[in-house]
Copies of this chain bind each other. A is one copy, B any other.
Amino acid sequence: MPTTTPLGPGGEFDLIRELLARWGSRARGIGDDAAVIAVPAGERLVVSTDSSVEAVHFRRGWLTPREIGYRATAAALSDLAAMAATPLGILVALALPTAWRAEVGEIADGIGDAVDLCGVPIVGGDLTAATDLAITVTVMGTAIAPLARSGARPGDRIWVTGTLGGPGRAVAALSDNAAPDAESRARFARPVPRLREARWLAARGATAAIDISDGLIADAGHLASASAVRLVIELDRLPHVAATDVIAAAGSGEEYELLVTLPPSAAVHDFEQAFRVPFTEIGRVTAADTPGVEATYRGERVAPPRGYDHFS
């Protein structure tokens, strides 16, 4: 639907109009009970939903409203990246407390910044009052052969995009009312969903992928469970922001980098040149009776550093 259905009267609709004015051509087909999207023939639909909640994923003052909107949307898009899917459209459910109403335009601008990264429209959403600010972004994409967590095979190599540890470092500093170093703060506030990178890697034979939201080791555990393999990770190799170390990098969550398994023969040497993003081999996949993650540090086996879990 190229145009937007005219909206009726009411305060909620005034607020929706304010959002739509901010989004401009980034929002399309809004105003019906549901959005209508054409799915390319022969492709499968890939969908995911992801919530960013005040006091859980961020605190007021840690990020600008624009960064909060950006980050919530980028985090959701990262799930499409993990599947090597091509984005198709986005739904935004906003739970907006009165205390945040003045910032809604800036939050919308941040959502728009993330939408600009993937070039697909916001096709719908929901707006409700709330006590805590919450942004639930549903992303829809398509893929002919979606990349799953379950395809890693013994003998594959384990790779990671980007530089880890920044979000963990930034949250630790902010929790102590300290200013994080600039690199860590930027990695926390402006994660980049690795959408094009993932499709490039899938085309070069990637066998499995997951985006790092719970922490490298925790997410490696999810991939290991899904693939029924063991992931042996050499912590010494982990790419990390300057202010952290490899141990911090192994446990830092909400990175939105990709952990990918690839056959040893995969031709990925020109990844960094193609994307200007670090791409690092960090371990290998082995067969295992009990799926899981093994970590080594300076040649010795160590207990894998744990990630963050809202419910543990």
A residues bordering B, Cβ < 8 Å? 5-12, 14-15, 31-39, 41, 44-51, 53, 55-57, 78-80, 82-83, 85, 89, 91-93, 95, 123-132, 134, 136, 138-141, 143, 146, 148-150, 209-211, 214, 218-219, 221-226, 228, 291, 309-312
Contact = CB atoms under 8 A, between A and B. Distances in A.
B33 A44 contact: no
A53 B124 contact: no
A131 B95 CA distance: 12
A34 B48 contact: yes
A206 B78 CA distance: 40
A217 to B, nearest CB: 10
Contacts of A15: 311
A11 B50 CA distance: 18
Given A33-B48, A222-B7, A309-B11, A136 B139 contact: no
30 contacts: A5-B150, A5-B226, A8-B223, A8-B226, A10-B214, A10-B309, A10-B311, A11-B309, A11-B311, A32-B226, A33-B80, A33-B82, A33-B149, A34-B83, A35-B46, A36-B44, A36-B46, A36-B83, A38-B44, A39-B45, A45-B45, A45-B140, A47-B124, A51-B128, A53-B128, A53-B129, A91-B138, A127-B310, A130-B132, A131-B131
Given A46-B36, A49-B136, A56 B6 contact: no
Contact of A47 (B37, B82, B210, B214): B37
A49 B138 contact: yes
Given A47-B123, A130-B56, A136-B93, A222 B8 contact: yes
Given A10-B312, A31-B226, A55-B131, 19 more contacts: A5-B149, A5-B225, A6-B291, A7-B226, A8-B226, A10-B214, A12-B312, A32-B226, A34-B79, A35-B47, A47-B89, A47-B124, A49-B92, A51-B126, A51-B136, A53-B129, A57-B128, A93-B93, A130-B134
Contact of A218 (B8, B93, B139): B8
Interface SS, A side = mixed
Contacts of A49: 49, 91-93, 124-126, 136, 138
Nearest to A55: B131
A9 B44 contact: no
A45 B38 contact: yes
A79 to B, nearest CB: 4
A311 B10 CA distance: 8
A95 B44 CA distance: 28
A191 to B, nearest CB: 15
A56 B128 contact: yes
A138 B149 CA distance: 23
Contacts of A41: 41
B221 A8 contact: yes
Given A12-B310, A128-B56, A221-B9, A139 B34 contact: yes
